[in-house]
Amino acid sequence: MVSLFIIIPFVLAAFLPLIEKVSKRFLPDLLTNLAILFLLIYSMTFGYQVVASHSGIRHFQWFNQNLNIVFALDGFSLFMLFAIYLVSFGVTLFSIDYMEHYGSKGIFYALFMIMVGGMSGLVLATDLFTIYVFLEVAAISSYGLVAYGLKHDELEASFKYLALSAVATAFLLLGIALIFSITGSLKLGDIAERFFKEDAKFIMYICTGFFIFGFGLKAALVPFHSWLPDAHPSAPAPISAMLSGLLIKVSGVYALTRIFLNVFGLTPAVSTVLMYLGIISILVGAVLALGQDDIKRMLAYSSISQVGYIILGFGAGTSFAIMGALFHILNHALAKGLLFLNSGSVEHSTGTRDLNKMGGLGKRMPITAATTVVGSLSVAGVPPLNGFWSKLFIIIGLLQARAYGFAFVAVLASIITLWYYIIIQRRAFFGKLKETLQNVKEVPFWMALSTLLIALVCIIIGIGFPVVISKWITPAVNILEYGIRYAMQYLRL
């Protein structure tokens, strides 16, 4: 059942606070990890079969009555689900030890599962308003999760995130309302057909502007990025990993891509806007990351830069660029998730995120240091790690599109990325161990295991990238390349 991708997270979330009354730590940890592992395996087996057999559109029934609940599990949504569950599994494993001192694990996991359920619903939705509602489900749970530490900075960051998200929401709703008033439907296929058949270019461009603003803010694209460097570093490390690795991509990039490539169709004007937004984000994010002393803020600015690569790839619109952008969603989710978890490990062991107060930690925290190297090199795009291939595809795609200037800047920014990741390595893990850090120890078992597993996945994907491309990326590329014809043919229910 396709609906299990949404039902399992929500049902478990509803019961977790009650389960916490029975067992404060063991049962919430166990059930959440098992649920996410099940969803990961389920997406890899059942989900893959559904997509392979082209039977991904499902009506939900109750006693043989259609309930008007329609899911569409296609190559693109399955790829996103796979990325969501893969990173989430690493994060929930890490949370077993990391969230011990935060208290109320049941509520933490409940919010976490609602966020996962919201993201799953968003990628399975076939209706514009449903996309918006699930986007809000994920967003509201993430406000609570960002503030979870209850310190001043965390509450302030959550408030800022909430306020700016509300602005994004207003623009999205305005766009949705305008589309509804013109087309009389909110179903993606209907909208695609009516915009295609009728001359409504003017309204389509207004909606495009609203959506670029709304989803661009959710994706933290420059110039809508100001909330991210406060919100993501302030959250507990597992949540930073989820927000930076997944949420900005699902609620920003996925929604934007689905609408622009499958519903509106990628016109040359929109393509140009997306490419410029992408390249500006790449440069601004990379340059701002260079000047940071807080390890998490540096990673947050890096996320802005990397999302720029993804948008640049989708904006270019060629096969290779779309393939690279999709692959970069997965690779960046894994590598940035890993780096945020490692920053949590460093903070957990040293009590600081300030790079000026660190040095020589590699001697005391060898696993964290080694996995940080893997994550850093992957994000920077060093071969043979996974991040290299996705960036390579994006750059080949840009060359295919004859966007030579964009390709040149993308390569240049990759070098800047490598530079600031080397700074993290040098200042935190290499050199002489500081006296204040003499008693630092490696992180507990589950935290170390989680980062090791994600680092291993980064390496395996880097080496075995052709398998990932053929099995997971190509079906998604086909759907996006099929453009509005796909929505008109399959998303009209």
Rule CB under 8 A: is residue 449 a binding residue for another protein?
no
Q: How many Å apart are CA 157 and CA 154, to the nearest integer?
A: 5
User: 276 exposed, middle or buried (CB, 10 Å; 0-12, 13-18, 19+)?
Assistant: middle
Min separation Cβ 105 and another protein, Å: 11
C-alpha closest to that of 225 among 156, 333, 308: 308
User: 493 exposed, middle or buried (CB, 10 Å; 0-12, 13-18, 19+)?
Assistant: middle
> Looking at beta carbons only, is 141 or 343 nearer to another protein?
141
Kindly compute the dihedral angle of the four CA atoms of residues 463, 467, 471, 476, in this order, to the nearest 10 degrees.
50
Min separation Cβ 199 and another protein, Å: 6
Q: For residue 65, what are the β-bridge partners?
A: 62
- Identify which range of 154-162, 297-305, 429-437, 485-493 contacts another protein by CB under 8 A: 154-162
Q: How many Å apart are CA 147 and CA 162, to the nearest integer?
A: 11
Contacts of 160 (CB under 8 A, 6+ apart): 227, 230, 231
402 CB-side CA count, 13 A: 0
Within positions 354 to 393, which residues make up the interface with another protein, using CB under 8 A?
none
Query: 470 — alpha (psi -120 to 50), left (phi > 0) or beta?
Result: alpha
> Looking at beta carbons only, is 116 or 274 nearer to another protein?
116
Rule CB under 8 A: is residue 147 a binding residue for another protein?
yes
> Looking at beta carbons only, is 150 or 269 nearer to another protein?
150
- Cβ atoms of 227 and 244 within 8 Å: the answer is no
Determine which residue in the list 5, 48, 94, 134 makes contact with another protein, applying CB under 8 A: 134
Backbone angles phi, psi at 65, to 5 degrees: -105, 130
Determine which residue in the list 38, 46, 143, 196 makes contact with another protein, applying CB under 8 A: 143
Q: Helix, strand, or coil here: 229? A: helix
Rule CB under 8 A: is residue 312 a binding residue for another protein?
no
> Looking at beta carbons only, is 27 or 200 nearer to another protein?
200
> Looking at beta carbons only, is 246 or 398 nearer to another protein?
246
- Cβ atoms of 447 and 362 within 8 Å: the answer is no
Min separation Cβ 428 and another protein, Å: 28
- Cβ atoms of 378 and 302 within 8 Å: the answer is no
Determine which residue in the list 31, 70, 323, 401 makes contact with another protein, applying CB under 8 A: 70
Rule CB under 8 A: is residue 14 a binding residue for another protein?
yes
- Identify which range of 36-44, 156-164, 255-263, 354-362 contacts another protein by CB under 8 A: 156-164
Rule CB under 8 A: is residue 396 a binding residue for another protein?
no
Contacts of 426 (CB under 8 A, 6+ apart): none
Rule CB under 8 A: is residue 186 a binding residue for another protein?
yes
- Cβ atoms of 492 and 187 within 8 Å: the answer is yes
226 CB-side CA count, 13 A: 6
Rule CB under 8 A: is residue 110 a binding residue for another protein?
yes
Rule CB under 8 A: is residue 344 a binding residue for another protein?
no
- Identify which range of 126-134, 302-310, 400-408, 462-470 contacts another protein by CB under 8 A: 126-134
Rule CB under 8 A: is residue 208 a binding residue for another protein?
no
What Rg do the C-alpha atoms of the chain give, in angstroms? Answer: 21
Q: How many Å apart are CA 311 and CA 442, to the nearest integer?
A: 37
Rule CB under 8 A: is residue 200 a binding residue for another protein?
yes
Rule CB under 8 A: is residue 158 a binding residue for another protein?
yes
- Cβ atoms of 389 and 327 within 8 Å: the answer is yes
Number of residues that bind another protein (CB under 8 A): 60
> Looking at beta carbons only, is 163 or 269 nearer to another protein?
163
C-alpha closest to that of 353 among 367, 343, 362, 368: 343
Determine which residue in the list 47, 75, 90, 118 makes contact with another protein, applying CB under 8 A: 118
Binding mask 45-64 for another protein (x = CB under 8 A): ---------------x----
> Looking at beta carbons only, is 166 or 460 nearer to another protein?
166
Min separation Cβ 273 and another protein, Å: 20
Relative orientation angle of helices 404-424 and 295-316, to the nearest 10 degrees: 160
> Looking at beta carbons only, is 3 or 352 nearer to another protein?
3
Q: Give the β-pairing of 65-72 and 57-62.
A: antiparallel
Kindly compute the dihedral angle of the four CA atoms of residues 478, 331, 12, 239, in this order, to the nearest 10 degrees.
-140
Rule CB under 8 A: is residue 31 a binding residue for another protein?
no
Determine which residue in the list 21, 152, 432, 441 makes contact with another protein, applying CB under 8 A: 152
- Identify which range of 124-132, 302-310, 352-360, 368-376 contacts another protein by CB under 8 A: 124-132
Rule CB under 8 A: is residue 194 a binding residue for another protein?
yes
> Looking at beta carbons only, is 166 or 467 nearer to another protein?
166
Binding residues vs another protein (CB under 8 A): 6, 10, 13-14, 17, 60, 67-70, 102-104, 107-108, 110-111, 114-115, 117-118, 121, 125, 127, 129-130, 133-134, 136-137, 140-141, 143-145, 147-148, 150, 152, 155-156, 158-159, 162, 166, 173, 177, 180, 182-186, 194, 198-200, 202-203, 206
